[in-house]
Structures are given as C-alpha cells and as structure tokens.
Structure 1
Amino acid sequence: MFKSPIEWLKELIQELIHDFANMAFDLIGIFMLKPTDLSKYHKIQAVYDFVFSLSSSLCIVFIAWSLFGIMLNHLAGTQSRSISEVLTKAMIAFVLSASAPWLLKDVLLKLNNAIVKYFLDEGLDTKTLEKFATIPGGSGTGFAFFLVALAIVISFVLLGMQYIQRLGEYITILVFSPIAAISIVTENFDLWSVWWREAISVIFSQAFQVALLWLVFNLLTGTEKLWDYFMALGLMVGILKGPKFIRQFLYSTGAGKMAVGLAGGASKMAIYRYAASRITKK
C-alpha cells in the first residue's frame, strides 16, 4: 500500500525516537540514575596525592612571598597584613587542603546521593524511560506529537552526555581542591570561594536534574496529550540548563551569595579572627 509523505515521515521519526531512546537508556541508566560513586576510579587518588604535594610546596612559596611583601610594606611605612594573619591562613589552608576530599565525598556528595536515592525509590528508573520508546503511533496521532517526542528523547541523550561532563568536572574539583585551599594564604589569588561555589553547583546539579526528571516521567506516564509533551519538553530544557542556573544563582543572587558566605566565607573568617587573636595573645 502506498504511503503518504506524512506517514513515511512519522515512521522515520518513530524509528529515530526508538534509537535515541535506547541510547538514552544506556547513558542515563549507567551514569545518572544511581548515586554518584567514584570508588571505581582508582587513579584519582594518585593524581590527588601529586597535586597535594605540589600545593604544599606552593604554600611555602606563598608564605614566603606574603612575608616578603609585609616586610617591604613595613619599610615603606604602608599598611599591610600582619604576620599572624599570614601564619593563621597558612595553618587553615593546610587543614582545608587535607579535609577537602572528606568535605566533598562524605558531606556534600552523600547529601546529594540521599536526594537522588529518594527519587529513585519513588519509581524513577530506566523502565520508565523504556515506556517512552513505545509511544502510541496510531493514525490519529498528529505529526507535531512525533516531533515533540523526538525532541524529548534527544534531550535525554544530551542529558546523559551532560552528566558524563559533570563527572569530569567533579574529578577536576576534587583533584585541584588542595591548590584552591592553599591559595587563601595569598592576598589577591584566593580561589577558595570560587572552588566552593563550583563544588556546590557540580555536586548538587545531579539532585536538581533527577528531581525534575522525575516530574517529566510522571508527566508523560499514561498520557497521549500533545500539551503534556510540550510541558515535558519545557522541563527538559530546564533540566539541561540546571547546572548553569545553579551557578548563576550562587554567583549572582543575594540569596546565593549569602548561602555561600554562611557555608564558607563567614565561618572561615571567624576561624581566622579566633586563631589570630590566640597567636597575638601569646
């Protein structure tokens, strides 16, 4: 029987939906729909140990440079930092560089994994995604329906690739955490606040995306309404933009800056002042 061009395109798009959905099963199922676990990446620790040794050497250089700057400012009669502040920051830098992996893996990552596990227990799995690959294809289904469905499964594939990128970003943040910590010794090269923001945005992007993905799957379950698919597509765009949104929130908004300040900067300055006062009294 001769098929019209529209029917031929529908069948072609259905095949593409099936192929992209299978690709998404692998990417999302393997990487995203499970708590983050880096224990299988054994070489990370070796790279971290090297960077930690390098950061220790840099800390000595930073301390010497800071003390030299204080001496020059003192000879020139200009105001500068005190020696106690530099030594206090150096001690805190060593503590932060040693504790950063614990902070990432045993605090932030465990909190993220707890949120992810909650939505997984609520029924978010690849079986739900498999149902999407068998969308109805009757003659009454409009051409726009297939186009929107194709756009959604393509966004699933992009989401899986984005999560692989997240793993790379997380490993980078973990490995270079000692250098970010040691940088607080310097006056104009403090990377810790940037590192802290990036750590939060990278780690909790999974929890943010999994929560919205759970909404998408629930929205699509058992529905053949075109409007529901448009809503799901809009949510998928929001999911893909999630990491960027979190970064913008942490860097731009007052609430984000306040949250970061309370978690990092404010507590850090309190430690500085307490330790400096103790050293001065001695």
Structure 2
Amino acid sequence: MDSSSLQNPHDDEATYRSKDAEDYFGYKSNIAETCDGENPFRLITAVRVDTNNTDDGDLLAEDARNLAEETGLRDLLVDGGYTHKEVEKCCRDQEITQHFTGITGQRPAAEKMSLAAPEWDGTRMVACPAGHEPFEQNHYETGRISGKMDKKFCDGCQHQENCFVEEQQEHYSYGFRERRVEVAQRRRRLDDPAEQEFLNLRAGVESLMNEMYHKDGEKTKFTGKIKVKNASIAKAMGRNLKRASRFLESEAKQEKSTG
C-alpha cells in the first residue's frame, strides 16, 4: 500500500512513514535555529512542514537559500538524513559549508585507502597520497572522474597495495563517481575531534523538537497541512518571544545589580 494512501478520513493529506521500525502517521516538521556559541540566545529561523513521506532533503532545499540571504548562514549543521544534491548545490552556490553529524551508508574497509587521502581541488586531483599529480584527468557530465598515473611513481609505492589505482599496460588508472570523493571527505571531517566538538552545537535542536512537539504527545490538534504548518509557526514565534524575554529580563537584572 502506498505511503500516500488515506490514513484518516478526517484528514486526506496525512501520510504514512516507517522509521527505525516505528510507524508514523500525519506530517513532519523541519526546524532551523541559530547555534553560534557567541549568540546570547538561540532564535528559530525556519519552520517547514510537509507530508510525513517527504524527504528531509526536499524540505531543507526550500530553506537553504533563504537562510543564506536572510541570516548570513555560512555553516549548516545537519544529520546524515539531509544528504541531498539540490541542497548541496545550493550550499556551494551560497558558500555554505555543510557539517553532518553522521554519514549514511557503510564505512569502507579499514585496509582500503580513503578517497579523501589525496589532495583535491574540486574534482581535480592535485596530488596523490605520495605527492604526485596524474598526467591525465577527466571529469564527465555524468559525475564520473578518472585519471592516469605514471608507472614510475606507482611502481614500488608504499601505498600500492591498498591504493585505489589499477595497473594497466602502460600506466595506472582510477575512475569513480565524484560523489564518492565528497562522502569520503565528509567521513574524514567527521573523524576530526575538532569537528565533533563543533557538531555538539546541534544538540540544542533536539531539545527544541521535544519542546515543540513531544511534550504534547507528538499529536497535533489540527488536520490539514496548512493548519498544522501555521500551528508550528505560531509555536516557533512563541518560543522566540520567550527566549528574547528571558534574555532581556536577565540583562535587566544584571544591570540592576551592577548599578
């Protein structure tokens, strides 16, 4: 049965979704908030509500450009479920760096060299792990990249056994989708302790989702996407006002005690 099939005769827009062996009915919401450590308090900057079977990346794609223009966004912290080509293209165009708390898919075998090991300039390999540049490189519209390495560099190289190049009659060659390089680079950043510490800033949004929805039992009082959306936006406005109010009260108390 299709996930968009009727779930409730009172709400013909509600859909079905299964996640982590749990069943969900209705709608889903994506929320963005500021999390810079220098901010005196956090502000909710975007609320997006859609049917429950909508991909997370599709929701973020609608907001990424607006967030860059309206907030000056430069670093976007998301979980692995937000991997999405349209979002990534928008982020590149807006010079936004995406930071993922996890990477979907299986981690490569430990004995295999990571495609993040070479030095890359976009899709061009500047230097292999041993410091040598391919004598020929190609980038195709299909997203595939390939190259050829001189045998004098690869023969006897210390990385030869686990390297991604393959020996040919007159040279060594490689070929793979550029997507694999992007994912490998994300995995390397994710293994960096400094990146892990930075990603901890995202933890606040989980408690925000609890404030917005889970305290109410995750069930909306409304039916229909537009009503559920408006209710979520109203809740977000209320949260922002409370946060601003608490900050102003704290500032006033501090000023009074100082005076």
Task: Give me the TM-score of the superposition, normalised by structure 2.
Answer: 0.24
- Which has the higher Rg, Structure 1 or Structure 2? 1
More strand by share: 2
More helix by share: 1
